Amino acid sequence: MSMLDGCKTTGKFPAGGCYDLFLRAPHTMAENQDHEKQYVGFATLPNQVHRKSVKKGFDFTLMVAGESGLGKSTLVNSLFLTDLYKDRKLLNAEERINQTVEIIKHTVDIEEKGVKLKLTIVDTPGFGDAVNNTECWKPITDYIDQQFEQYFRDESGLNRKNIQDNRVHCCLYFISPFGHGLRPVDVEFMKALHEKVNIVPLIAKADCLIPSEIRKLKERIREEIDKFGIKVYQFPECDSDEDEEFKQQDRELKESAPFAVIGSNTVVEAKGQRVRGRLYPWGIVEVENQAHCDFVKLRNMLIRTHMHDLKDVTCDVHYENYRAQCIQQMTSKLTQDNRIESPIPILPLPTPDTETEKLIKMKDEELRRMQEMLQKMQQQMQDQ
């Protein structure tokens, strides 16, 4: 039994479907009647929510950060089995000297078994690459704050039907495997961001480490994270009524943090099978082999089991912190200015870009709905 099945019993949404409760074959009449006496029927609520969400689709914003050359793009491609970076051009020498940290968003719509996911990857090229990296994380913290601010404004606004949630739900931070632990840049970055976003630290390019080195490095990183008081994303405790296997898997997951990952864009032939991997003269590294690296654990955690939890923590903890801070700042400013304002805080007008972006998104949604309706009508006409 995988963790997927475990989710069924807790009522959390698995990525796959569990229509059983609603579509199960009816019992015999006698059983039904007995059943009916005690059965109210709200046990189908999760399924109703499920069906609605499937129609609406999910969205998820993932940020990747770390020095260049650590395999971030390759890992993202491996995680979502897409090629998001095929048009990427590497800069030439002069451009690189003056490179600053940028924020680049890639959005892609993926669909699997009828479930739609709008995935946004926020990339941070240029981070940690310069000679002087002081405050190189500032553009990133600014971006995250901007997304919070935009959501805050939308939430306090009048039209709340189509709020676009661009908040960053998770940040994968790539730690270089070539060091002896965390570097000063890593520590400063994580301390600047741990209260704004869920940080999941990863050890990149783990195929250059032998197993004993990986163990030592993980211990070292865990010690340093504690020492510097960095609050990385904690996996939620599983309930006590879960079965033993689920709990065992959960424990293994927690013990292998930070995950040592390898990514690959290429498919190689290993033991007669075609797998994603890297071909070396001395052997083949398989990305999805649990003995080789923790990629499978990361993927399961990120997509299959904890995606919703990441979103919840972002909404409930990080966003609320931001909101509380924001309101506090405003009220303290107001008492200073000694003015009486309306309870809804007045924020500076949004820039025209975000407004038009929202309009475009709304129109896109309408278009898509109309197209779906058209398709259904055509289908009906063909059937007749």
Partner 1 sequence: MEPPAVPEEEEEEEEEKEGAVPLSMAPGPVGCQLFGYVGIEAVLDQMKIKTMKTGFEFNIMVVGQSGLGKSTMVNTLFKSKVSRKSSQPGQEERIPKTVQLQSITHVIEEKGVKMKLTVTDTPGFGDQINNENCWEPIINEQYERYLREEILITRKRKIPDTRVHGCVYFVPPTGHWLRPLDLEFMRRLSRIVNVVPVIAKADTLTLEERAEFKQRIQEDLKTHTISVYPQEDFDQDPEDRALNDRIREKIPFAVVGADQEHQVNGKRVLGRKTKWGIIEVENPAHCEFPLLRDLLIRSHLQDLKDITHNVHYESYRVRRLNESNRPGLSPLNGLPGKGEASSHL
Residue closer to partner 1, measured from CB, 226 or 353: 226
Instruction: Provide, rounded to whole angstroms, the least separation between the CB of residue 272 and partner 1.
Output: 16
Alpha-carbon distance of 265 to 276, in angstroms, equals 7
Residue closer to partner 1, measured from CB, 295 or 322: 295
Quote the crossing angle between the two packed helices 3-10 and 244-255, to the nearest 10°: 120
Alpha-carbon distance of 76 to 86, in angstroms, equals 12
Q: Does 181 bind partner 1 (CB under 8 A)?
A: yes
Q: Does 359 bind partner 1 (CB under 8 A)?
A: no
Q: Which of 3, 64, 65, 70 binds partner 1 (CB under 8 A)?
A: 70
283-286/273-280 β-pairing:
antiparallel
Span 128-147, contacts to partner 1 by CB under 8 A: 129-134
Q: Is the peptide bond before 258 cis (omega within 30 degrees of 0)?
A: yes
Q: Does 157 bind partner 1 (CB under 8 A)?
A: no
Instruction: Provide, rounded to whole angstroms, the least separation between the CB of residue 242 and partner 1.
Output: 31
Token pair belonging to 343 = 């309870």
Q: Does 278 bind partner 1 (CB under 8 A)?
A: yes
Q: Does 249 bind partner 1 (CB under 8 A)?
A: no
Q: Which of 27, 35, 56, 96 binds partner 1 (CB under 8 A)?
A: 96
Residue owning tokens 């009906």: 380
Q: Does 349 bind partner 1 (CB under 8 A)?
A: no
267-270/170-175 β-pairing:
unpaired
Instruction: State CA 230 to chain mean position distance.
Output: 19
Q: In sequence order, what are the beta bridge partners of 269?
A: 274
Q: Which of 81, 279, 367, 370 binds partner 1 (CB under 8 A)?
A: 279
Which stretch, 158-166, 179-187, 236-244, 353-361, contacts partner 1 (CB under 8 A)? 179-187
Q: Which of 50, 169, 205, 218 binds partner 1 (CB under 8 A)?
A: 205
Q: Does 90 bind partner 1 (CB under 8 A)?
A: yes
| Ordered alpha helix ranges (H), 57-85 | 72-80
Q: Does 283 bind partner 1 (CB under 8 A)?
A: yes
Instruction: Provide, rounded to whole angstroms, the least separation between the CB of residue 230 and partner 1.
Output: 16
Residue 144's nearest CA partner among 168, 172, 118, 170 is: 168
Residue 260's nearest CA partner among 280, 300, 287, 224 is: 287
Alpha-carbon distance of 140 to 101, in angstroms, equals 8
Q: Does 227 bind partner 1 (CB under 8 A)?
A: no
Alpha-carbon distance of 263 to 122, in angstroms, equals 18
Q: Which of 211, 366, 375, 378 binds partner 1 (CB under 8 A)?
A: 211
Instruction: Provide, rounded to whole angstroms, the least separation between the CB of residue 232 and partner 1.
Output: 20
Residue 292: half-sphere exposure toward Cβ, Cα within 13 Å: 19
Residue owning tokens 């940080």: 199
Q: Which of 167, 292, 311, 318 binds partner 1 (CB under 8 A)?
A: 292
Residue closer to partner 1, measured from CB, 23 or 90: 90
Alpha-carbon distance of 144 to 122, in angstroms, equals 10
Residues 6+ away with beta carbon under 8 Å from 315: 167
Instruction: Provide, rounded to whole angstroms, the least separation between the CB of residue 41 and partner 1.
Output: 52
Which stretch, 10-18, 116-124, 253-261, 276-284, contacts partner 1 (CB under 8 A)? 276-284
284, 270 Cβ separation under 8 angstroms: yes
Instruction: Provide, rounded to whole angstroms, the least separation between the CB of residue 77 and partner 1.
Output: 15
Instruction: State CA 313 to chain mean position distance.
Output: 11
Q: Does 93 bind partner 1 (CB under 8 A)?
A: yes
Q: Does 180 bind partner 1 (CB under 8 A)?
A: yes
Residues that bind partner 1 (CB under 8 A): 67-70, 90-91, 93, 96-97, 129-134, 176-181, 183-185, 188, 205, 207-208, 210-211, 278-286, 291-292
